[in-house]
Amino acid sequence: MTDAVFEQLLKKAVTKAAEIKYLSNLPPEEDLPEPAKHFQRRITKLIGNPEKYIKNLKRPVYLRVLQRVAIIILVVSMLFSASMLHPTVRATVANFVKTWFDDHTEYRAAGDSRSVIPTKVEFGYIPEGYTLESANYDSLRVSIIYRTDENKYLAFEIMGSKIKVNLDNEHMNHFIAMVKDTPIDVYESVDETYPSILLMYDEENNFYLEIMGFTSITELITVLEQCKY
């Protein structure tokens, strides 16, 4: 008998002995408590995509805590500020609704205010390597797309508030940033096959502004900071 065969037989014997000793002490399956819902969701995500689950775990706990605290502070400050604004604007702010789901976030504006869609958008900065592919304007939206030779795109879109926006949060890390004194929702991709996204709600004109692309969050924010409409 070779050493390899002996080692394999020994492992099987030890494993079998452990099963006999410990499994016999477990209560019947019907007496076992049902796992908590949040634990079941974590196990489902782990089994579905182990690599993505591990990537998300690498994000420091303090960043997750800070993100939640920032969202709470933002919501409170927006509600307080809204109470000091003109009634029409206050209604618009109060009617901007964000709903979180397991795999996506839904944005909608429930107010009746009319969206003022711009007829021209000018960019002061576009990342190197991107060239204009298309620019479309109509009464409901603006859609402008830049693309590289490697077929990576940078999309800029303005949408009327009657349009419901759904953003994937299953492949993103979400946080809030301030651009032009306005809070924006940042979705930083953790999967190279998904673009990163910025979403801003323009209170004055009552529309959504979305920028998405396969580039860094820093560059996306620079595009937003230096665009005029």
Share of the chain above pLDDT 70, in %: 53
Please report the domains of the chain, with CATH numbers, ordered by start residue: 61-228 (3.40.1000)
pLDDT in tens, 166-223: 777 778 888 989 987 888 989 899 888 889 999 888 888 888 899 999 999 999 999 9
* Residue 91 scores a pLDDT above 50: no
pLDDT confidence of 93, banded at 50, 70, 90? very low
Considering the chain, what is the average pLDDT of its residues? 75
pLDDT for res 222: 95
Strands (E), 85-206: 96-100, 104-109, 122-123, 131-137, 141-147, 153-160, 165-168, 172-179, 182-189, 196-202
Helix (H) or strand (E) holding 17: helix 3-18
Contact 154, 137 (CB under 8 A): no
**Alpha carbon distance 146, 136 (integer Å):** 12
Tell me the pLDDT tens digit for each residue of 135-161: 999 988 899 999 999 999 999 999 887
Structure tokens at 25: 């002490």
Indicate whether 73 pLDDT > 60. no
Which pLDDT does position 26 carry in this prediction? 59
Q: Is the model's pLDDT at 98 over the cut of 90?
A: no
State the CB neighbour count (10 A cutoff) for residue 65: 10
What is the number of other CB atoms lying within 10 angstroms of the CB of residue 97? 12
pLDDT confidence tier of residue 109, bands split at 50, 70 and 90: low
- In the predicted structure, residue 90 carries a pLDDT above the cut 50: no
Each residue's pLDDT tens digit, 28-68: 665 666 666 666 677 676 666 666 666 666 555 555 555 55
225, pLDDT greater than 90: yes
Q: What is the pLDDT of residue 160?
A: 82
- Pick the residue with more confidence: 5 or 179? 179
Q: What is the pLDDT of residue 61?
A: 53
Radius of gyration in angstroms for the set of CA atoms belonging to the chain, rounded to a whole number: 25
pTM equals 0.55
Q: Say if residue 94's pLDDT is above 50.
A: no
